[in-house]
């Protein structure tokens, strides 16, 4: 399918550009927002790179899951840039979530901490020294706080149907090619607004407008 290959080639170029952008120095001034933006950029480039392989093998089911993940990353990117004070909070997300899950599993008796000296179970002692992990911010809350809740409601919720296996699996070869193309186009649109938002901040210290988001996603004004 020639058009499919062309889109994959374009996505490959964009993925490489995003990866490089995560390393380039764009501004003489520094901001605490820069580091999380660069981390999100790099992760986005990897998701797009994975989407290319799935596109070439015409795997619309997995592509649908990746498109949702890319949109989630964009929402986080927009949330961080919308308020610099959120940069540190975002940087703590992964460690806080790991800490939260570990503590939950220990309390359920499925994970334990052993003493180095004699191997005795010191899980309860360990838990008594740990403070309650700071609660994260849901994707919906990030979207609401950064003014793009409409994207969450219109796209993210419906994309979740594929992610949670609540949709039909396409097996017909012709239909599979068509659905693959649609998902690649969706990923392409999200990747455009994703990259534009990040570079606009890193280079110009500016925040993308909702009007520009709609334009890059191909939405009309009535949708928002």
At residue 222, does pLDDT exceed 80?
no
The count of other CB atoms within 10 Å of the CB of residue 157 is: 11
The pair of structure tokens assigned to 44 is 């986005």
Residue linked to tokens 């309860």: 124
- For the chain, percent of residues with pLDDT exceeding 70: 97
pTM of the predicted protein model:
0.90
Residue linked to tokens 């219109």: 154
To the nearest whole number, what is the mean pLDDT of the chain? Answer: 93
- Say how far apart CA 199 and CA 149 lie, in whole Å: 22
Quote the distance between the C-alpha of residue 67 and its chain's center: 9
Would you call 19 helix, strand, or coil by DSSP?
helix
At residue 74, does pLDDT exceed 70?
yes
The pair of structure tokens assigned to 88 is 């540190």
Would you call 80 helix, strand, or coil by DSSP?
helix
pLDDT bracket for residue 26 (50, 70, 90): confident
Quote the distance between the C-alpha of residue 168 and its chain's center: 24
- Say how far apart CA 91 and CA 86 lie, in whole Å: 9
Cα–Cα distances (Å) from 85 to 18, 20, 34, 39, 201, in that order, read 24, 26, 12, 17, 15
In the prediction, which pLDDT does 30 show?
84
At residue 224, does pLDDT exceed 60?
no
| Half-sphere exposure at residue 90, Cβ-oriented, CA atoms within 13 angstroms | 25
Would you call 132 helix, strand, or coil by DSSP?
coil
The pair of structure tokens assigned to 8 is 């994959």
User: Average pLDDT in the 38-48 region?
Assistant: 97
């Amino acid at each position: 399918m020639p058009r499919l290959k062309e889109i994959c080639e374009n996505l490959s170029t964009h993925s490489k550009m995003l990866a490089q952008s995560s390393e380039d120095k764009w501004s003489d001034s520094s901001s605490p927002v820069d580091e999380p933006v660069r981390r999100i950029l790099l992760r986005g480039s990897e998701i797009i790179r994975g989407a290319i392989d799935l596109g070439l093998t015409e795997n619309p089911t997995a592509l649908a899951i990746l498109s949702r993940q890319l949109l989630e990353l964009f929402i986080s990117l927009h949330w961080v840039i919308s308020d610099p004070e959120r940069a540190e909070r975002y940087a703590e997300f992964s460690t806080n979530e790991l800490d939260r899950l570990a503590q939950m599993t220990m309390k359920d008796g499925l994970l334990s901490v052993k003493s180095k000296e004699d191997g005795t179970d010191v899980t309860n002692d360990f838990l008594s020294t740990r403070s309650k992990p700071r609660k994260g911010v849901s994707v919906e809350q990030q979207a609401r706080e950064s003014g793009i809740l409409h994207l969450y409601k219109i796209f993210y919720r419906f994309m979740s149907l594929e992610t949670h296996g609540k949709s039909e699996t396409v097996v017909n070869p012709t239909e599979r090619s068509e659905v693959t193309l649609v998902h690649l186009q969706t990923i392409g649109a999200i990747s455009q607004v994703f990259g534009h938002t990040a570079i606009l901040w890193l280079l110009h210290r500016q925040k993308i407008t909702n009007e520009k988001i709609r334009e890059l996603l191909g939405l009309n004004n009535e949708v928002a």
